[in-house]
Amino acid sequence: MELENKGVKGSQLKNMIIKTLYFNKAMSCAGLSELYDKSIPSIAKAVNELMEEGFVVEDGYAPSSGGRRPLMYSVKANTMYILAIALDQLTARIQLFDLLNNAVADMVTFELKLLNNPDALAKLTAEINNYIKGSGVAKEKIAGTGIGMPGFINVTEGINYTYLDAGGESLTAYLTAKTGITTYIDNDSSLIALAEQKFGIAKSQNEVMVINLGWGIGLGMIVNGKLFRGYNGFAGELSHIPLSEDGALCECGKRGCLEAEASMLVVARKAIAGIQQGRITSLKYNSNDNNHSKLMGDAVLEAANNGDQFAIELLSDAGYKIGKALAILIHIMNPAIIVLSGRGAKVAKILMAPIQQALHKYCIPRLAGGTELLVSELGFDAELIGAAVLVMENFDKNKKAKMSKAAKAVA
Task: Extract the residue ranges of the chain whose pLDDT is less than 70.
Answer: 1-10, 64-66, 288-291, 398-411
State the architecture of 80-191+384-410 in CATH terms.
2-Layer Sandwich (3.30)
The ranges assigned to domains in the chain are 3-75, 80-191+384-410, 201-377
Alpha-carbon gap, residue 342 to 270, rounded angstroms: 21
Alpha-carbon gap, residue 140 to 12, rounded angstroms: 18
Per-residue pLDDT at 7: 40
Residues 330, 336 contacting (CB under 8 angstroms): no
Residues 289, 111 contacting (CB under 8 angstroms): no
Per-residue pLDDT at 411: 47
Same fold, 80-191+384-410 and 201-377: yes
Phi, psi of 283 (to 5 degrees): -70, 140
Per-residue pLDDT at 232: 82
State the architecture of 201-377 in CATH terms.
2-Layer Sandwich (3.30)
Residues 239, 216 contacting (CB under 8 angstroms): yes
State the architecture of 3-75 in CATH terms.
Orthogonal Bundle (1.10)
Per-residue pLDDT at 242: 87
pLDDT tens for each residue of 314-358: 999 999 999 999 999 999 999 999 999 999 999 999 999 999 999
Residues 385, 195 contacting (CB under 8 angstroms): yes
